Amino acid sequence: MPLRGWVVKTQVAIVGAGPSGLLLARLLDRAGIRSVVLESRTRAYVEARIRAGVLEEGTVNLLREAGVSSRLDQDGLRHGGFELAFANGTHRIDIEALTGKHVTVYGQTEIQKDLADAHLAAGAQVQYEAKQVQLDQLTGTAARVRYQACGAWQELECDFIAGCDGFHGVSRQSIPVERLRQHERIYPFGWLGLLVDLPPVSKELVYANHERGFALCSMRSATRSRYYIQCSVEDQVTDWPDSRFWDEIRMRLPEPYAARMAIGPAIEKSIAPLRSFVTEPMRYGRLFLVGDAAHIVPPTGAKGLNLAAADVRVLYEGLAEFYASGSQALLDEYSSRALARVWNATRFSWWFTALTHKFSDDAFAHRLQLAELDNLRHSTAASQAFAENYVGQL
């Protein structure tokens, strides 16, 4: 039987020590607002998760504001465009010329390490391996979070809770189901991803539409590449030995890319199903949902981490206003402000996925995809709208 612990008072309890949870905690700490972060996994487990790393300018600026951008500013790869590969050729979308903005490639794993190191250096309260987390009194005068750690039950009393614990976390599940509207679209395919310690095939990302299915050539650094191919949702990683993966992705790329692609043993390989998911509203009483706890988009448009960072900014602004003046005006606007961006990104991610992936063997549908891609090649207006959505809102 776990021992009875004690009650600790804080201003904000943050459930989840992924990038959104730790980023929010860093911003609050720099503003003099107390928080405690709870994470059910170990730090090593959280940092080992392989995730995307295409950052919008707004995300980069927020990391700078949090004081965790030194490695990002040194090692991040600035990208002013990307390639669309289709019909055995390519077309470059020059996002910098079209929008005046760029994106930065810097792996989410590295962001996670930077944030965790900053918390450790600051002596911040991050409780890893917090088990059986329970949220209570969400509509009362003060919220409570109970959890097990170090063999005892602990309890936090707080003004607000930030639920940053992902799609399967306890935060969204703590809201009465009748108070939520949940929208979901499951895609009939997944992404098989392979990480390899070899230089990327291109200096910029390459998104490929092919009759065999989608492919993406990405990178984590100048010497580490990340490649993806569309696969069946029923596939297992064991169905895809390295040799089969390399053969398949080269078939889906234009010949010049396939010819110069360096191949080697994978250091990580995984399959991710694709879905669109949005929860409305993103607030219930003193609980605010952040990032994947409230919404998921397919990775095609590189919006997942950027949306989470945008949620963090909106919530941080609301909390900072509340503790500075007592006003809850921005906190009351959190859900509507966050959801406006979420739905726009969901729309774009759906469109980009539909443009580049194979949904069926319907030749008519594939020809329509090629026609729209060709329109991007010839229409500056279409390319500009595409680029504006890709770089995101500041």
DSSP string, 182-231: EEEEEEEEEEEEEEESS--SSSS-EEE--TT--EEEEESSSS-EEEEEEE
Q: Per the residue annotation, which of 295, 303, 357, 358 is the catalytic one?
A: 303
The pLDDT confidence band at residue 4, using thresholds 50, 70 and 90, is low
Catalytic, 299? Answer yes
For tokens 């020059």, name the residue: 94
**CATH level 2 (architecture), domain 3-79+102-183+275-351:** 3-Layer(bba) Sandwich (3.50)
**CATH level 2 (architecture), domain 187-274+359-391:** 2-Layer Sandwich (3.30)
Catalytic, 390? Answer yes
Rounded Cα distance, 254 and 104, in Å: 25
Catalytic, 203? Answer no
Q: Per the residue annotation, which of 79, 269, 357, 358 is the catalytic one?
A: 79
Quickly list H helices, the chain: 19-30, 43-48, 57-65, 70-75, 95-99, 108-122, 170-173, 242-251, 255-260, 304-325, 329-332, 334-356, 363-378, 380-391
Catalytic, 113? Answer no
Instruction: Read off the pLDDT of residues 285-310 as tens digits, 9 standing for 90 and up.
Output: 999 999 999 999 999 999 999 999 99
Residue 55: per-residue pLDDT:
97
Q: Per the residue annotation, which of 207, 228, 257, 284 is the catalytic one?
A: 207
**Six-digit token pair at 147?**
């959890």
Instruction: Read off the pLDDT of residues 147-191 as tens digits, 9 standing for 90 and up.
Output: 999 889 999 999 999 999 999 999 999 999 999 999 999 999 999
What pairing do the DSSP bridges indicate for beta strands 143-149 and 131-136? antiparallel
Catalytic, 227? Answer no
In the chain, where are the structural domains located? 3-79+102-183+275-351, 187-274+359-391
Q: Per the residue annotation, which of 106, 228, 316, 390 is the catalytic one?
A: 390
Q: Per the residue annotation, which of 19, 106, 299, 358 is the catalytic one?
A: 299
Beta bridge pairs of residue 126: 37
Instruction: Read off the pLDDT of residues 330-345 as tens digits, 9 standing for 90 and up.
Output: 999 999 999 999 999 9
Residue 1: per-residue pLDDT:
40
pLDDT over 90 for what percent of the chain? 94
Phi, psi of 199, deg, nearest 5: -60, 145
